[in-house]
Structure 1
């Protein structure tokens, strides 16, 4: 499975029409990238990557 950052969003001023059902997890050779989708209290939609190393 090729790795792509196509899921990155720019939602600073606009809200997305569709919201992912849950967090997306991509495993890369022992490393784990988790895409966390959150709603801020102001109503802004934020997606950020959490990088975790697995030893």
Structure 2
């Protein structure tokens, strides 16, 4: 397997994992910034987890 194929495979795996992580984030009750800010802990954990 050459380097380009390995990089593409790794990128695909990372994209799938990040998609699954996003689906686990809680949805705010109302569509407002205040409701989104109430979920800041979950969003913060997601952002820290995705930093690699």
* Common fold: TM-score over 0.5: no
Name whichever structure is richer in strand by fraction: 1
TM-score band, normalised by the shorter chain?
under 0.3
